Structure 1
Amino acid sequence: MLIAWLVFASSAVAQEPSRSDDMPWVAVSKDKKGFVLEPSRRPFIPWGFNYDHDTDGRLIEDYWDERWPTVEAHFGQMKRLGANSVRIHLQLGKFMDGPDKPNEKTLDRLTRLIALAGKERLYLNLTGLGCYHKADVPPWYDRLTEKDRWDAQAHFWQAIAGRCAKSPAIFCYNLMNEPVVPGGKRKSGDWLGQPFGGKHFVQFITLDQQDRPRPDIARQWVHHLTTAIRAKDKRHLITVGLVDWSLDRPGLTSGFVPARITADLDFISVHLYPKTGKLKEALDTLEGFAVGKPIVIEETFPLACTPRELDEFIAASKQHAAGWFGFYWGKTPDELRRSRTIPDALMLGWLELFVKKAKAIGNSVHE
């Protein structure tokens, strides 16, 4: 299996045109198990980073104006490490001044970021509707009803898609990071999950389940937002970033059951962090997301396992997964080697693994 995969991956190293405006477009393969570059139809394996904040924990919209050269440097570093894709997390409060009023200045900066991605020949996974810093969430947004909030989210995505539709440097639109349909009723304005490291990565798409099946709510929400995007962009791929507890199993669930919410999605994105001694459990979970569309492990990291175990997990996950994203926050391996902190040691172990795996996968779009 591994030999066959390496043969497959080597074909992704094909020389493509070097001009950014001639980057191949990414599409789903005919067998719906992976991705290809168009028009060549050569295989494309997303191998990249979540660039979700800098070393100080700041989100990209908080520093891309005054520290644009830093963003440029980080994109160059990610490219040299072997990435062909970068996941960017866009915050709704920075892009919307009102329920139906996009912020044109922020959209202009996004347009510049897309140009940078094209220059570096990196494909962007644009994950939207972020509310990671609770203090930055507009009060008007939290006061909206479910219907009005969904409509505001649709306006957000139409503004983004309107700027991105013509760029081949976009890999996909990710509707939201880790959305959840609650069971029962939440208090008014309580749209965010518990923070992790000071950031709210989980978000609820309704505050009141009423008598509706949770997967039905999730499916309707996905349909509402994909319809809004398709009004502006009929080509780029659409996904949503699912927590690993989305499967229809006993215990905690998100309501986003893969088999029931993917009709309007082009591929599945799942966030999996394998644990020491429980690699098979993580692989079994991954298999549960195999519902006839490509799967991308959109977040993974040696958070609860060793880099060696993560290496084993990635190798074994190829049976179902067609792409992988880890993390990069702006410190190069050389900088990390000079550090003596545990977090930097974890990141160094991950980046060394990333570079090794990148050489096997092949950087799909060359200069």
Structure 2
Amino acid sequence: MPVSNAVPHAILFCLLSLSISSTTMAQTQSRIRVSDDGNHFVFAETRQPFRVWGVNYDHNGAGELIDEYWIERWDEVGQDFAEIKSLGANCVRIHLQVGKFLIAADKINQLAVDQLKKLLKLAEHEGLYLDITGLACYHKANVPPWYDQLNEQDRWQTQAFFWGSIAEACRDSPAVFCYDLMNEPVFPAKKQAGEEPDREWLAGELGGKFFVQRLTLDLNGRTRQEIAKAWVNQMVDAIREHDDQTMVTVGVIPWVFAFGGGKPLFYSPEVSERLDFASVHFYPQKDKVDAAITALEAYDIGKPLVVEEMFPLKCSTAELEDFVNRSAKFTDGWISFYWGETAAQLKQKPEATIAHAITAAWLEKFHAMSAQILMLP
């Protein structure tokens, strides 16, 4: 049954209000964890099922990341979180930049940590969970030169220090849904004899941002699985020194979907042991929802599965809704996007574009689907 057409509009509104109210109450009392059978999420205290229905708050309408304005313009963050809540979301994915949190390889920026703690309190107040994605280097201007000059071993050590510091700051808040170790980590291509290794840690510039970064610049005779496993273990070890409760994941590009075949890397048996659930980023293509569903099933590995990014970028709003409905039988959450402007605000913009119209239409659909999603078993 299509989510948005399951009940009349008036009843849908009432159900949404009740769902949000009950979910908020549970969230103020309980963390979220993996169920005893390992297949889905539950509230830690009640053991009732929990489905993720959230948004990436990766930047605002001006392209700024949250840690670039959350001190000077805190009211803006508070208003955005209230708007996200009104959409029917229960989770917000935030992205923290290395350059905003580290003053040196082994020195934290306490102002940033204090603001993160303030954000935790805001999330608790609104009844929202946080998917905390770290080690971001999206804006090159914020990447410290000393960080890019580190060799692999020292860079990993600094990344572990980052995660230890974040875990220490967040460990007492029930609002933290998970730590996402890095957005879309990748590996260098295999080099032929005599070829120079890669020299840039960042890859794939998109709209002035670098969402993808390499874990190493040189495979140096190692397999990608060996590198991924060693890196995940080092990051998780750093987190578990301070926080033994919060779930850990890695948001990945679904190469199985992109290449039309293959097997998951981070969610392979060799690498995924210490990751609590699978996180993948899916943008279904027009007339290819079947292919997206088939590819997504490859990440159903006996752990909870979250589509951590989705948007009607390459398909229609109706097709993305279909993707959510059809994946619900084996997927435990979906996270889309919110960029600081409501559907009404987008429609009223004097310079409104097709992109604004698509975003507004999807936000309205996201809201309409919320009640049924939150009530899924």
- Is the shorter-chain TM-score for this pair beyond 0.5, marking a shared fold? yes
Q: Does 1:335 align with 2:345?
A: yes
Partners of 1:248 and 1:256 lie apart in 2 by 15
Q: Does 1:179 align with 2:185?
A: yes
Partners of 2:129 and 2:375 lie apart in 1 by 11
SS in 2 for 1:200: strand
2:141 maps to which residue?
A: 135
Partners of 1:128 and 1:163 lie apart in 2 by 13
1:56-87 Cα deviation digits (max 9, x unpaired):
00111111111100000000000011010000
Partners of 2:19 and 2:353 lie apart in 1 by 37
Q: 1:71 to 1:174 in 2, by over 3 A?
A: same
Partners of 1:97 and 1:189 lie apart in 2 by 23
2:86 maps to which residue?
A: 80
Q: 1:290 to 1:16 in 2, by over 3 A?
A: closer
SS in 1 for 2:111: helix
1:311 maps to which residue?
A: 321
1:15 maps to which residue?
A: 22
Q: TM-score, normalised by structure 2?
A: 0.89
Q: Does 1:291 align with 2:297?
A: no
Q: Which shows bigger deviation, 119-128 or 248-257?
A: 248-257
Contact 1:272 1:300 (C-alpha < 8 Å) held by counterparts: yes
1:90-124 Cα deviation digits (max 9, x unpaired):
00110011111111111001010111101101000
2:12 maps to which residue?
A: none
Partners of 1:257 and 1:330 lie apart in 2 by 32
1:114-172 Cα deviation digits (max 9, x unpaired):
11101101000000000001121111111111111000000000000000001100000
1:273 maps to which residue?
A: 283
1:355 maps to which residue?
A: 367
Contact 2:257 2:292 (C-alpha < 8 Å) held by counterparts: no
SS in 1 for 2:116: helix
Q: TM-score, normalised by structure 1?
A: 0.92
Q: Does 1:221 align with 2:228?
A: no
Partners of 1:207 and 1:130 lie apart in 2 by 17
Give the letter aligned to residue 121 of structure 2.
Answer: A
- Deviation, structure 1 residue 24: 1.3
Contact 2:58 2:95 (C-alpha < 8 Å) held by counterparts: yes
1:239 maps to which residue?
A: 249
SS in 1 for 2:285: coil
1:299-326 Cα deviation digits (max 9, x unpaired):
0000000000000010011122100000
Contact 2:266 2:272 (C-alpha < 8 Å) held by counterparts: no
Q: Which shows bigger deviation, 351-360 or 263-272?
A: 351-360
- Deviation, structure 1 residue 215: 1.2
Q: Which runs of 5+ in 2 are unaligned?
A: 7-14
- Deviation, structure 1 residue 341: 0.9
- Deviation, structure 1 residue 33: 2.2
2:58 maps to which residue?
A: 52
Partners of 1:253 and 1:35 lie apart in 2 by 24
Partners of 1:99 and 1:228 lie apart in 2 by 15
Contact 2:304 2:331 (C-alpha < 8 Å) held by counterparts: yes
* Counterpart mapping for 1:90-169 below 5 A: 90-169=96-175
Q: Which shows bigger deviation, 25-34 or 151-160?
A: 25-34
Partners of 2:262 and 2:298 lie apart in 1 by 15
SS in 2 for 1:15: helix
Contact 2:311 2:320 (C-alpha < 8 Å) held by counterparts: yes
Q: 1:280 to 1:188 in 2, by over 3 A?
A: closer
Partners of 1:97 and 1:329 lie apart in 2 by 28
Q: 1:31 to 1:194 in 2, by over 3 A?
A: same
Give the letter aligned to residue 242 of structure 1.
Answer: V
Contact 2:132 2:178 (C-alpha < 8 Å) held by counterparts: yes
2:311 maps to which residue?
A: 301
Match of residue 260, structure 1, among 254, 259, 270: 270
- Deviation, structure 1 residue 360: 1.0
Contact 2:135 2:181 (C-alpha < 8 Å) held by counterparts: yes
Give the letter aligned to residue 115 of structure 1.
Answer: K
1:197 maps to which residue?
A: 207
Q: Which runs of 5+ in 1 are unaligned?
A: none
Aligned residue-pair number: 359
Partners of 2:176 and 2:103 lie apart in 1 by 24
Q: 1:34 to 1:108 in 2, by over 3 A?
A: same
Partners of 2:329 and 2:82 lie apart in 1 by 31
Partners of 1:312 and 1:150 lie apart in 2 by 40
Q: Which shows bigger deviation, 10-19 or 113-122?
A: 10-19
Contact 1:162 1:233 (C-alpha < 8 Å) held by counterparts: yes
Q: Does 1:326 align with 2:336?
A: yes
Q: Does 1:37 align with 2:43?
A: yes
Question: Aligned-residue CA RMSD in angstroms?
Answer: 2.5
Contact 2:164 2:239 (C-alpha < 8 Å) held by counterparts: yes
Contact 1:247 1:288 (C-alpha < 8 Å) held by counterparts: no
SS in 2 for 1:107: helix
